[in-house]
């Protein structure tokens, strides 16, 4: 199956959810006909080199948590049951050629019969059951495998498997497109010596490329899978380099050492000019929402008018320009426009900038002179930038904001204990039920909830949450989501700041990149533009 490709225009800056065309004036590493000494015509090997900022901890994607390193490098090697089309926010067939819901919690998937691992083993229903068993047993994957009911998962026949869930899950098909659902052959893993060997040199995957070597700290090399069940890859070999330094990675592209790179910083965009042979691709990130969560349990932040004032005093458009140089979009609620369950604001405008109204609300709440508060965050430049903008914005209301940065372990200890006034972070939205659970104060942190939130009409809010967790009809889900989002816009348990942008770059003669469900640029289908 050919993945849906995103397309862009030939301009250097593209502000749409479509991609194509990136690179230099000459087709990179193209094969050429050359004459040998005896006059015979030979073909040069077609090579591609890409660079990512992260090296995976393992290429066994069911032994580690979901990471960009695993997703991006692994994308050359693995298939999933379904793939995610980031242009339409839908899933499409891959190793599973069709599926149906047998009931509300049982998904029956029919596999293609012509899929083989790189070391020659036919992928069958038993392999899918093995994948589910391993995923459920991996603690780091609880978010993605937590809804699987293994006791009811079953092989129907050689190429048909039932995947059972503990409860209806409207986003489960999207979850199946994640890299942690990478398919491999159980027999193939055993044949190459077991899981430890598989993690470093996987031969039992099924993707468009086969593993060749992994030089730790430097690169992974893969070669085209000539026996691939679907459309063959264009390049014969691909070198995936790991360049963690953002400046060095972009310079490698601009010098011609690599053909595509992920993660271009907004501050670097001015160095990529039209006609330079390098194209910048920028896509509004439907999956990355930058927010500041507020502790509504007690004190000034327990007052709805105070939280509303803080939202009105936060100039989101100015924040977008200052922090992301205008890339991305201003947030008017919990999800970005265009997201599957986004709903436009109806009757309130608490997300719009109005300093005079904000000051009036502070006075009405009895905090005309402000108060002191602390924002906690992990070591992340974006989280810090958002917190510093809030510090300045809320200073206009007399609020003295302190910023406390710590390592992730210390951060989550305080978060889980409720020992914070606010925290700066980003939400991932592909699983919108998990995002909604963040606002469910009936759930503790281990269940995905936040016990520091409280609502004026809790009964109505809880009823809507219970509906959105299991609603599978898309139109109904949008309606319910809209009601929840409007409550959150009015009561402001969180300051919705902005939705980020995905920026990457490549040789302008190349086409065929697309986004993973987590928003990572995937280069497995790169090839010269026609």
Reading the block at residue 37, the tokens are: 């000494």
Would residue 31 count as lying in a domain? Answer: no
- Cβ contacts of 193 within 8 Å, gap of 6 or more: none
pLDDT over 60 (residue 293): yes
pLDDT of amino acid 13 = 29
Pair 390, 481 in one domain: yes
Split at pLDDT 50, 70, 90, the class of 350 is confident
Pair 290, 379 in one domain: yes
| CATH code, domain with 436 | 3.10.105.10
pLDDT of amino acid 24 = 33
pTM listed for this prediction: 0.75
C-alpha 17/C-alpha 20 separation (Å) is 11
Reading the block at residue 176, the tokens are: 């199946």
Give the three-state DSSP class for 453. Answer: coil
Pair 320, 261 in one domain: no
**pLDDT 10s digits, 384-414:** 999 999 999 999 999 999 999 998 888 888 9
Separation of CA 56 from chain center: 16
| 400-406 vs 372-378, strand pairing mode | parallel
Would residue 182 count as lying in a domain? Answer: yes
**pLDDT 10s digits, 86-127:** 677 788 999 999 999 999 999 999 999 999 999 999 999 999
Pair 155, 170 in one domain: yes
Average pLDDT, the chain: 86
Pair 425, 476 in one domain: yes
The DSSP output letter for 59 is S
Mean pLDDT over 432-445 rounds to 84
Reading the block at residue 63, the tokens are: 């032994």
Mean pLDDT over 197-207 rounds to 95
Pair 229, 266 in one domain: yes
Would residue 243 count as lying in a domain? Answer: yes
Rg (CA), the chain: 25
Pair 54, 187 in one domain: yes
pLDDT of amino acid 401 = 97
Let me know: does 522 contact 72? Beta carbons within 8 Å.
Answer: yes
pLDDT over 50 (residue 18): no
Domain of 192, in residue numbers? 42-277+508-528
Pair 257, 272 in one domain: yes
| CATH code, domain with 189 | 3.40.190.10
Pair 179, 304 in one domain: no
Split at pLDDT 50, 70, 90, the class of 68 is low
pLDDT over 90 (residue 85): no
Let me know: does 6 contact 86? Beta carbons within 8 Å.
Answer: yes
Split at pLDDT 50, 70, 90, the class of 20 is very low
Would residue 22 count as lying in a domain? Answer: no
Pair 495, 512 in one domain: no
Among the ranges given (41-55, 67-81, 269-283, 510-524), the one the predictor scored with the smallest mean pLDDT: 41-55
pLDDT over 90 (residue 299): yes
From residue 460, alpha-carbon distances to 279, 303, 457, 464 in Å are 49, 20, 6, 6
Would residue 172 count as lying in a domain? Answer: yes
pLDDT of amino acid 27 = 39
Pair 370, 323 in one domain: yes
Pair 488, 411 in one domain: yes
pLDDT over 80 (residue 8): no
Q: How many domains does the chain have?
A: 2
Would residue 512 count as lying in a domain? Answer: yes
Would residue 15 count as lying in a domain? Answer: no
- Cβ contacts of 517 within 8 Å, gap of 6 or more: 84, 86, 174, 177, 178, 287, 430
pLDDT of amino acid 36 = 37
- Cβ contacts of 215 within 8 Å, gap of 6 or more: none
């Amino acid at each position: 199956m050919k993945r849906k490709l995103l397309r862009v225009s030939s301009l250097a800056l593209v502000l749409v959810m479509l991609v194509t065309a990136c690179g230099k004036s000459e087709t990179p590493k193209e094969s050429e006909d050359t004459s040998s000494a005896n006059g015979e015509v030979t073909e040069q090997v077609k090579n591609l080199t890409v660079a990512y900022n992260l090296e995976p901890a393992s290429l066994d994607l069911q032994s580690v948590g979901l990471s960009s390193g695993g997703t991006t490098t692994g994308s050359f090697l693995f298939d999933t049951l379904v793939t995610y089309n980031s242009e339409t926010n839908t899933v499409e067939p891959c190793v599973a050629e069709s599926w149906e819901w047998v009931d509300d919690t049982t998904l029956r998937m029919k596999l293609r019969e012509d899929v083989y691992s790189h070391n020659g083993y036919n992928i069958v229903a038993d392999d899918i059951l093995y994948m589910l068993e391993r995923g459920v047993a991996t603690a780091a994957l609880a978010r993605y495998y937590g809804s699987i009911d293994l006791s009811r998962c079953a092989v129907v026949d050689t190429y048909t498997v039932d995947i059972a869930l503990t409860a209806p899950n409207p986003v489960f098909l999207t979850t199946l497109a994640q890299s942690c659902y990478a398919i491999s052959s159980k027999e193939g893993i055993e044949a190459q010596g077991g899981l430890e060997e598989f993690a470093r040199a996987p031969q039992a995957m099924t993707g468009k490329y086969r593993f060749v070597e992994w030089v730790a700290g430097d690169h992974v090399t893969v070669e085209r899978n000539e026996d691939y069940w679907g459309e063959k890859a264009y390049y014969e070999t691909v070198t995936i380099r790991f360049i963690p330094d953002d400046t060095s990675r972009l310079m490698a592209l601009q010098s011609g050492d690599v053909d595509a790179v992920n993660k271009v910083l907004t501050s670097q965009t001015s160095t990529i000019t039209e006609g330079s042979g390098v194209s910048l691709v920028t896509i509004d990130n439907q999956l990355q929402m930058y927010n500041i969560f507020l502790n509504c349990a007690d004190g000034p932040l327990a007052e709805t008018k105070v939280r509303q004032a803080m939202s009105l005093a936060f100039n989101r458009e100015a924040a977008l320009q200052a922090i992301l140089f205008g890339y991305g979009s201003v947030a008017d609620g919990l999800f970005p426009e265009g997201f599957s369950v986004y709903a436009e604001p109806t009757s309130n405008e608490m997300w719009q900038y109005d300093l005079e109204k904000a000051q009036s609300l502070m006075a009405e709440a009895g905090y005309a002179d402000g108060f002191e508060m602390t924002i906690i965050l992990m070591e992340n430049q974006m989280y810090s930038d958002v917190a510093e903008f809030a510090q300045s914005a809320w200073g206009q209301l007399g609020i003295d904001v302190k910023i406390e940065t710590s390592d992730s372990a210390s951060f989550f200890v305080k978060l889980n204990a409720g020992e914070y006034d606010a925290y700066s972070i980003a939400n991932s939205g592909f699983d919108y039920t998990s995002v909604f659970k963040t606002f469910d104060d009936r759930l503790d942190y281990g269940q995905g909830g936040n016990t520091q939130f409280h609502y004026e009409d809790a009964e109505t809010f809880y009823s809507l949450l219970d509906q959105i967790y299991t609603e599978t009809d898309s139109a109904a889900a949008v309606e319910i989501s809209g009601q929840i989002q409007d409550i959150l816009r009015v009561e402001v348990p969180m300051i919705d700041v902005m939705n980020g942008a995905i920026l990457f770059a490549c040789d302008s003669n190349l086409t065929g990149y697309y986004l993973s469900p987590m928003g990572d640029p995937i280069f497995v289908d790169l090839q010269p533009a026609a």
